[in-house]
Amino acid sequence: MPESARMWTEITFNVVYLIVVWGLVAAMARRRATVPPTSRNTARFMMWAFALLALGDTGHVGFRVLAYALGDLEFSFGFLGRQIGLVGLGAMATAFTVTLFYALMLFVWRARFEERFGWFEGLLLAAAAVRIALLLPPANQWNSVVPPQPWSTYRNLPLVIQGLGVAFLILRDARASGDRTFLWIGVMILVSYACYIPVVFLVQRVPLLGMLMIPKTLAYLGIGFLAYSDLYGGNLSSVTAKPGTT
């Protein structure tokens, strides 16, 4: 694919994605009063998880669009005597928020299936804490457009443990209880990681693998739409409706 075509594909996808994901969060917020009492904790944690996801991705993909508009992905600006790359700043923002997203998804699982935290759930929360600690060292080179190795692997391994652990819990209990919505949510988490893991380990050598972030992002939207339809009693058209039309 020519570079210009790839750039415009990415820009178009990123803009549409941000509109949809923020519309999804707004629709959840508008309809939260309609959620049945038995599902309110699940719905609340899900809404906050997607609010964090949208916030982080506004920095991640939004800053990529802005960087293209200002010249290219290497665009940086001066702040307190340091040069800060827009793309790197966005990548750092989403690295924090996606960690919190999966921590909240653990609370979604607990509320949905009325479970308690045990040693395994504690391990997943510990993985989130380790992941956040690993985001802080300068060796992460956040100003780099392409994540550096081996630190890209170091900081992403705890996230892989965290996300796949959450998927395991959801799939196990959804299958046992016949919960089709959360069964598909678990599948979508697996799909997202199937796309994400090759990017983490190989994008430095095969840059085109970065395009796998598109189906990964679509998997997250799939989770959001499934949760919205089940918990908030809405349909897909109301996500993009104007305020007051639901």
- Please write the tens of the pLDDT for every residue from 198-224: 988 888 788 878 888 889 999 999 999
pLDDT 10s digits, 151-191: 889 999 999 999 999 999 999 999 999 999 999 999 999 99
Does domain 3-239 fall into CATH 1.20.1070.10? yes
Grade residue 148 by pLDDT with cuts at 50, 70 and 90.
confident
Q: How far apart are CA 95 and CA 102, in angstroms?
A: 11
Mean pLDDT of the chain: 87
CA 173/CA 152 separation, integer angstroms: 32
Q: How far is CA 228 from CA 63, 138, 244, in A?
A: 27, 39, 17
Q: What is the dihedral of CA 37, 49, 133, 129, to 10 degrees?
A: 30
